[in-house]
Amino acid sequence: MGGPFYHTASRTQDLTFAIQHFLVTIDLRSDTVTRPTPAMREAIARAEVGDDVYGEDPSVAALEARVAALTGKARALFVSSGTMANQLALLAHCRRGDDVFVSEGAHCAWYESGAAAALAGVQCVTVGQGALFSPEALVAAVKPTAYYTPRARLVALENTHNRGGGRVLDQAQVEAVAETARGLGLALHLDGARLFNAAVASGARVATLAAPFDTVSVCLSKGLGAPVGSLLCGPEALITEAHRYRKMLGGGMRQSGLLAAAGSFALEHHVARLAVDHAHARELAAGLGALTGLSVETPETNIVMVDLPAPTASQFVERAKEQGVLISAFGPARLRLVTHLDVDAAGVAQALGVLRAVLGARP
């Protein structure tokens, strides 16, 4: 309690009382926290289903065909999560002992429980700093070919970049990296958990953003607001391999058309509205950026990164939680706030009021 930039106890208690009694919780920890809307639940209830392990679920087949077309790839495979999509890509592209080149803070190196090493048996090599490295940095990271060096096999990028604060990758630079990677004999995978955010923010088509890559994963359960599901998209031969690995990992699902129907609904109704989340993120950033002591990056999509002047992120998160606003600590002095379908303009205003109050008064 207390700390360098918190309210005095009595004012905090008043505010806590008001918020707990009159306002709802605003959850800005992640865009994965959304709950299916009533219309999405209806679409789920209406879904035609079959046994997808037998390849007989029409709703899954329809979703896979739609996402293959959207990403411009020959085939798409419906899987349970973004993590599974990324791991299937690593398994399909690589052999044990291979080097996979990733950017700083890559999800597949940070947040997939070490699966790249444990399942595919590859090592992730971080290249450069920030969300995207240069072609030169990639060349420098590839080890000389010898029986005693790992085989350079895959470049895996992330768009938008989560730890990079929802950055949209510069497409010209992506193409330059891809050209260099091809020249080095490397394959390319894109973690597109938030590729629809990147497309909406940049005005580019999803297929254009995915074009330099052999495989691309997209998530339905982040900004798009579906409860479960991701797809791995790519050429027929690689997706055939991924399909085998999906079963091997226990990812074959039976009447998964219920989930696919939610995903199809999300693609029909929740893509264009991502622009609203981006506008909300800019509002949050502008409001927080105006407060003394905070350093706030201008968001490109729905993720706002905030740097505190001291390593008090976890206390800040706790105090905001007491006041009904959930946010994440992303380092000792760094916070992450994510806007989504379940936070409207009033929620943004409420969150700003609480965060200002938590930060604003010094003892």
Ligand X SMILES: Cc1ncc(COP(=O)(O)O)c(C=O)c1O
Q: Which residues of this protein are in contact with ligand X, per CB under 6 A?
A: 32, 81-83, 86, 107, 158, 162, 191, 193, 219, 221, 230
Q: Crossing angle for the helix pair 313-322 and 9-22, nearest 10 degrees? A: 50
Give kind and range of the element (H or E) at residue 59: helix 58-71
Closest CB 162 distance from ligand X, rounded Å: 4
In whole angstroms, how close is the CB of 42 to ligand X at the nearest point?
A: 24
Closest approach of ligand X to the CB of residue 160, in Å: 8
User: Which residue, 89 or 294, is less far from ligand X as judged by CB?
Assistant: 89
- Comparing every residue's Cβ against ligand X, the nearest one is 82
Question: Would you say 160 or 350 has its CB closer to ligand X?
Answer: 160
d(CA 162, CA 266): 21
Q: Indicate the residue among 142 and 303 with the shorter CB distance to ligand X.
A: 303
**Cβ 198 vs Cβ 209: under 8 Å:** yes
Q: Using the minimum distance from each CB to ligand X, give the nearer residue, 202 or 221.
A: 221
Say how far apart CA 200 and CA 192 lie, in whole Å.
13
Using DSSP's 3-state secondary structure scheme, residue 355 falls into helix
Tell me whether residue 142 or residue 231 sits nearer to ligand X (CB atom).
231
Q: Which amino acid is at 96?
A: R
What are the distances in angstroms from CA 308 to CA 7, 88, 352? Answer: 16, 38, 16
- Residue 36, amino acid: P
**Which residues make Cβ contacts (< 8 Å) with residue 350, sequence separation at least 6?**
23, 26, 324, 325
**Minimum distance from residue 330 beta carbon to ligand X (Å):** 12
CB of 221 to ligand X, least distance (A): 6
